[in-house]
Structures are given as C-alpha cells and as structure tokens.
C-alpha cells in the first residue's frame, strides 16, 4: 500500500476510534445522571455501616439493597443525592455534616440471605425529594460482552455517588460465601453477573445499569485484588424480579404498558368472610382507586396548613407537585393543583 494511502487509513482509524470513545463517554454520563435519580446511600443504624441501594417504588417508598448491607438490622437511614445546577453534590463531608437532617428513616420489610437481597420501606414518603424516580428493570438478563455501569458509595473514597463502568464477563448461577475481614457472613446461591468493574466495600446494594439506563443487577461484591483483579459480582435482575414478585412488591420493567408498570401498593391476598348475598363486590380497579384517593387526601390534609405558613410555602409547593404526580387521577390531586396555583 502506498505511503499516502496508509496515512489516510491510519487517520480514518484514529478519527473512528476517537468518535467511538466520545460516544462511550456520552453514554456513560447519560446513564450515570439518569441512574442517580434512583440511587441512594443506605446507612445501617444498628451496625453503623453503609452501603448503597435503589428506589424500586417511589410512591410507596421501597428501597432495594443487599441482605448483607442490612443483615440483622431493622432501622436504616436512607440518604438521597443533593443536586446543584443539574449535577449531584459528591463531597461526602457535605452530607455527613447534616446526615440526620437530610437522611430519611426506613425499616427492613423483606430480606433473603440466599440471594443476598433486601427491601427497606421509607417511613415517611413525603420526605422523598422531588425529582426522585423509580428504577426500570431490564426485561432480560444481559449478555457477555455488553457494558455495565454501577453507582455506589465506597467507603474508601472521600466522594459519594461513585460511577464504575465495566464489561460483562458472563452471567451464570453461582454459589459462594460472603465475608468481611476474614470472617464469613453468609452463604449465597444466585444467578450473578460477573464483570470487570472495580467495585469496593460500600458499593454493595447499589444499582447496575445497561446502556439504556435499565437496572440489570445489584452490586454484591467481588474477588480480592490479591487473588484476581477485575472480578466483580452483581445479583442478576432475573433474581431480583423473582424476589420482588414473591414478596408482592410492585416494580417497573422495560417494555411493559403504563398500566402494568405503575407504582402501586403490593398486592396482598386478604382473608374475606363469605359475604351475604346482597353485599356488592368491589373489583380490584375500584378498590385501588379508593386506596389512592384516601392516600392523596391524607397527604393533602397534611399540606394545607403548611401552605398557609409563609416560611413553608416553598416546601408545601414541592410536595403538592409530588402529590399531583403520584396520584394524578384523584380529586385530591385536582384540589392540590388549585392550591398550587394560588402559591405561585
């Protein structure tokens, strides 16, 4: 090949490589900022340790994390990102200085040691910051060779909301023992994603996403660097969805219709006495509508006095917008909209 053609080919290769790198960076940034809307830090009050998690159902305040993050603990402090000009504040000292003020308390409501998963319910959903979103799970497990992006809070860093990219090595069923400082914590068996990500302690429980921003796994751990580098593990989303379904928690999955994926209260089978012949039956849709109206009305009743307080009007306006978003088809939402107009 003539020197001129070789030079032209090399130039095209360099340009294509640079363009590919730019697209990869743009994808990572987009996934990170989108994933941050659902990411939280989980602080185990009983054990004084920290991990990460994701919001799976914003309306009812459910947080997904690892069993080994909560372990035998009951009370958890949930910390949400603080945003400034479209970016999350990441300096950890800015959070720790006011942790009790910005943190939201929650309780562990479900856990499974075998697959290393747990769910926390936030005590007061009105304290969930505006702009928070429920994650959307991928419809299928990822394939080897695809990208994975995780968000967590490793204690080794002076920053929070750490972004960690990687490549998926394989997805398979695994049996292993988790531990800390040479001490075994629990035995596990689950379908996992094995990736090249360099995760650390504190990342555990945090969400892992694909290039579409769909959650594909939950950060679990990895091999010690002294054994092998770039071997991290994530609980596969198939295990997560089966776990949530078994506990009757509602969640969103990519590709479902809006009606099927809407955040809602877990479906609980109730024991009902045999009704009298004349007793009318209430179908599930009507029952859910009544439940939403009641929840929206209770929330509105709490906000009315705040709206009259000059020092709390801004806070009340934010929560009224949240009410309208959570319960858009209720009468209380209509009243909240009218009250919001008066505050603006």
Query: What does the pLDDT profile of the chain (344 residues) look like in tens digits?
Result: 566 555 555 555 454 444 445 455 689 999 999 999 999 999 998 877 899 999 999 999 999 999 999 998 999 999 999 999 999 999 999 998 888 889 999 999 999 999 999 999 999 999 999 999 999 999 999 999 999 999 999 988 899 999 999 999 999 999 998 876 667 778 999 999 999 998 888 999 999 999 999 999 999 998 765 566 778 999 999 999 999 999 999 999 987 643 334 443 333 333 333 344 444 444 566 667 777 777 777 777 777 777 777 777 787 788 888 878 888 888 888 888 888 888 77
Instruction: Say if 181 falls within a structural domain.
Output: yes
For position 292, what pLDDT does the model report?
Answer: 78
Domain count, the chain: 2
pLDDT at 261: 41
3-state secondary structure of 268: coil
Predicted confidence at residue 125, as pLDDT, reads 94
Shared domain check, 47 and 195: yes
Q: Is residue 278 part of a domain?
A: no
Q: How many CB atoms lie within 10 A of CB 333?
A: 22
The verdict on 110 and 36 lying in the same domain is: yes
- Residue 283: the pLDDT is 53
Residues 178 and 126 in one domain: yes
Q: What pLDDT is stored for residue 25 in this prediction?
A: 64
Looking at residue 172, what is its pLDDT? Answer: 97
Pair 90, 217 in one domain: yes
Q: What is the pLDDT of residue 126?
A: 93
CA distance 168 to 155: 24
Identify whether residues 212 and 317 lie together within a single domain: no
Q: Tell me: do 307 and 249 sit in the same domain.
A: no
For residue 167, the model assigns a pLDDT of 97
Comparing C-alpha atoms, which of 214, 171, 226, 213 is closest to residue 193? 171
The answer to whether residue 4 is domain-embedded is yes
Residue 275, domain member (yes or no):
no
Question: Do 89 and 82 contact (CB within 8 A), yes or no?
Answer: yes
Q: Is residue 276 part of a domain?
A: no
Q: Are residues 257 and 291 in the same domain?
A: no
Question: What pLDDT, in 10s, does the model give residues 284-295?
Answer: 666 677 777 777
Note down the domain range covering 201: 1-269
Q: Does one domain contain both 87 and 133? A: yes
Same structural domain, 256 and 111: yes
What is the crossing angle of helices 313-326 and 284-308, to 10°?
170
* Residue 158 in tokens: 């002076």
Percentage, residues of the chain above pLDDT 70: 81
Last residue of a domain, one of 269, 299, 326: 269
Same domain, 76 and 159: yes
Which SS3 state, helix, strand or coil, does residue 88 take?
Answer: strand
Flag whether 274 is in a domain.
no
Answer yes or no: do 111 and 207 share one domain.
yes
Same domain, yes or no: 47 and 168: yes
Q: How far apart are CA 5 and CA 11, in angstroms?
A: 10
- CATH value at residue 65: 2.40.10.120
DSSP state of 142: -
CA dihedral 11, 13, 17, 18 (to 10 degrees): 10
Can you give the pLDDT at residue 254? 87
The residues with which 252 forms a beta bridge, in sequence order, are 136
Of 215, 239, 269, which residue sits at a domain end?
Answer: 269
Q: Is residue 109 part of a domain?
A: yes
Domain boundary among the residues 269, 294, 320 is at 269
Are 215 and 207 in contact by the 8 Å Cβ rule? The answer is yes
Output the pTM of the full model: 0.70
In a domain, 127, yes or no: yes
Residue with tokens 């209509």: 334
């Amino acid at each position: 090949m003539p020197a001129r053609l070789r030079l032209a080919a090399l130039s095209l290769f360099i340009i294509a490589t640079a363009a590919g790198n730019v697209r990869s960076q743009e994808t990572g940034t987009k996934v990170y900022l989108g994933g941050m809307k659902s990411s939280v830090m989980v602080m185990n009050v009983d054990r004084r340790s920290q991990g990460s998690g994701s919001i799976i159902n914003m309306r009812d305040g459910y947080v997904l994390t690892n069993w080994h993050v909560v372990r035998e603990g009951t009370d958890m402090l949930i910390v949400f990102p603080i945003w400034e000009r479209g970016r999350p504040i990441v300096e950890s000292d800015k959070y720790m200085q006011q942790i009790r003020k910005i943190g939201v308390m929650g309780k562990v409501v479900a856990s499974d040691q075998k697959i290393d998963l747990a769910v926390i319910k936030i005590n007061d959903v009105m304290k969930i910051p505006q702009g928070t979103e429920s994650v959307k799970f991928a419809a299928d497990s990822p394939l080897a060779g695809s990208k994975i992006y995780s968000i967590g809070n490793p204690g080794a860093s002076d920053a929070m909301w750490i972004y960690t990219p990687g490549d998926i090595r394989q997805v398979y069923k695994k049996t292993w023992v988790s531990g800390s400082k040479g001490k075994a914590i629990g035995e596990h068996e689950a379908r996992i994603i094995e990736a090249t990500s360099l995760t650390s302690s504190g990342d555990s429980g945090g969400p892992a996403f694909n290039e579409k921003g769909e959650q594909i796994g939950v950060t679990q751990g990895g091999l010690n660097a002294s054994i092998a580098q770039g071997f991290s593990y994530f609980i596969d989303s198939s295990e997560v969805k089966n776990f949530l379904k078994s506990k009757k928690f509602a969640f969103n999955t990519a590709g479902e219709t809006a009606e099927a994926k809407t955040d809602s209260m877990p479906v609980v089978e109730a024991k009902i006495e045999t009704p009298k012949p004349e007793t009318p039956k209430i179908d599930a849709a009507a029952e859910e509508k009544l439940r939403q109206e009641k929840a929206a009305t209770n929330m509105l009743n709490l906000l009315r006095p705040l709206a009259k307080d000059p020092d709390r009007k801004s806070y009340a306006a934010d929560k009224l917008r949240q009410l309208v978003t959570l319960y858009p088809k209720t009468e209380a939402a209509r009243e909240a909209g009218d009250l919001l107009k008066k505050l603006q």
